[in-house]
C-alpha cells in the first residue's frame, strides 16, 4: 500500500507527463534554470545546517567567485563543496542505469565535506553522535555498515515497486536515521534523494530553509514510525519544482498564481481553510518564500472532486 496520498500522486504524474510532452526543452533555458536551482539548492541545503550565507551571497560566491566580508571560511567552503557535489549529481542522473550504492553515498559525502571535514570525508563514523533537539539516537557506530547494507537491499527490493517520490523520501529518511557520518548527513541524504528523482525524469527538489522546522518535525514523525507526513513534505517540494519547470517552459497547464487570500475571493473557502488544504496537499499549491500560492484551476479542481465524491 502506497504511503503517498493518491491526489498528490496523480497531480505529480500528470505534471511530469506534461513536462515530458514539451521535451526536448530549450538547452539555453535548461542551463539557465539549472544554474538558478543549483544556487537555491546550495543555499537552502547549507542554510538548514547553519550556514550563514544569504541566497545572494551564495550566488556571489558560486557565480562570481567573491569572498563575503564577515563570513567564515567554513561557510564559503561549504558552498563550493556543495556545488561540486551537485555537478556530480547531475552527471550521475544523466545515466539511467545509475543505481544508488554505499559507494555512491560515500562519494556524495566525500564531496559535500571535502574541504570542511577532510579527515572524515567519505568515511563512516567510528563513534556515537547525538542529534540536537531530536528524540532519536542513531545506532552505534559498529552497526552503521550493517544498517547501510540493509538499506541498499531494501532499496533494490523496492526500486520498481514504489512511486519515485515515495522511494526517494524514504531513502532520505533512512539515511539520516542511520546517520552514517559524523557530519554532512542531511546534505548527503538530500543529494541521494535527488538522484532517484532525477533518474525518473523529475527536476531537482529543494527543501527550503523557511521550512526547516517543519522538515525536522516530519523527520521526527518518521523516526517514530509515521512516514506519511515526511513523504507528503517531499512530494510538495517535488511539485514545486515541477511547477517551476512547467511555467519556465511555457506549458499552457499553468494558471495565474494567486495568494490564498486572492484565490479565496468568489469562493466559499476562506484563506485559512485553503491554507489547511495546501499544507495537507489536497489542493495544487506551493510556497513562495513564506506565502502559499495557488490557482483558480486548483480551487475548481478541488471543488469538483468534492462534488464527485458526494454523488
Would you name the residues annotated as active-site residues?
179
* Cα–Cα dist 129/181, whole Å: 9
* Cα–Cα dist 276/299, whole Å: 13
Neighbours of 211 (CB within 10 A): 19
Q: Nearest 5 degrees, angle CA 145-CA 226-CA 286?
A: 105
* Cα–Cα dist 122/87, whole Å: 17
User: How is residue 139 annotated by DSSP?
Assistant: P
* Cα–Cα dist 111/88, whole Å: 9
User: How is residue 75 annotated by DSSP?
Assistant: H
Helix, strand or coil for residue 152? helix
* Cα–Cα dist 310/304, whole Å: 10
Cell of 40: 537555491
* Contact assessment for residue 124 and residue 148, using Cβ atoms and an 8 Å cutoff: yes
Helix, strand or coil for residue 301? helix
Amino acid at each position: 500500500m502506497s504511503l503517498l496520498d493518491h491526489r498528490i500522486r496523480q497531480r505529480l504524474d500528470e505534471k511530469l507527463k506534461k513536462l515530458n510532452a514539451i521535451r526536448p526543452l530549450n538547452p539555453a533555458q535548461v542551463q539557465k534554470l539549472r544554474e538558478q536551482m543549483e544556487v537555491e539548492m546550495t543555499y537552502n541545503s547549507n542554510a538548514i545546517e547553519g550556514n550563514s550565507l544569504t541566497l545572494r551571497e551564495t550566488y556571489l560566491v558560486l557565480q562570481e567567485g567573491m569572498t563575503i566580508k564577515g563570513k567564515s571560511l567554513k561557510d564559503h567552503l561549504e558552498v563550493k563543496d556543495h556545488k561540486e557535489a551537485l555537478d556530480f549529481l547531475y552527471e550521475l542522473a544523466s545515466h539511467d542505469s545509475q543505481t544508488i550504492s554505499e559507494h555512491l553515498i560515500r562519494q556524495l559525502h566525500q564531496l559535500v565535506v571535502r574541504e570542511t571535514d577532510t579527515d572524515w570525508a567519505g568515511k563512516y563514523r567510528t563513534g556515537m553522535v547525538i542529534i540536537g533537539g531530536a528524540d532519536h539516537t542513531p545506532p552505534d557506530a559498529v552497526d552503521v555498515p550493517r544498517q547501510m547494507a540493509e538499506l541498499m537491499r531494501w532499496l533494490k527490493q523496492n526500486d520498481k515497486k514504489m512511486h519515485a517520490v515515495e522511494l526517494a523520501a524514504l531513502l532520505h529518511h533512512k539515511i539520516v536515521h542511520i546517520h552514517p557520518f559524523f557530519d554532512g548527513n542531511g546534505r548527503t541524504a538530500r543529494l541521494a534523494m535527488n538522484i532517484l528523482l532525477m533518474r525518473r525524469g523529475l527536476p531537482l527538489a529543494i527543501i527550503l530553509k523557511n521550512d526547516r522546522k517543519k522538515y525536522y518535525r516530519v523527520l521526527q514523525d518518521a523516526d517514530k514510525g509515521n512516514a506519511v507526513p515526511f513523504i507528503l513534505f517531499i512530494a510538495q517540494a517535488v511539485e514545486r519544482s515541477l511547477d517551476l519547470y512547467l511555467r519556465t517552459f511555457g506549458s499552457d497547464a499553468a494558471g495565474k498564481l494567486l495568494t490564498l487570500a486572492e484565490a479565496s475571493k468568489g469562493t466559499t473557502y476562506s484563506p485559512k481553510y485553503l491554507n489547511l488544504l495546501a499544507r495537507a496537499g489536497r489542493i495544487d499549491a506551493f510556497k513562495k518564500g513564506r506565502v502559499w500560492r495557488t490557482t483558480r484551476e486548483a480551487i475548481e479542481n478541488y471543488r469538483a472532486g468534492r462534488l464527485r465524491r458526494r454523488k
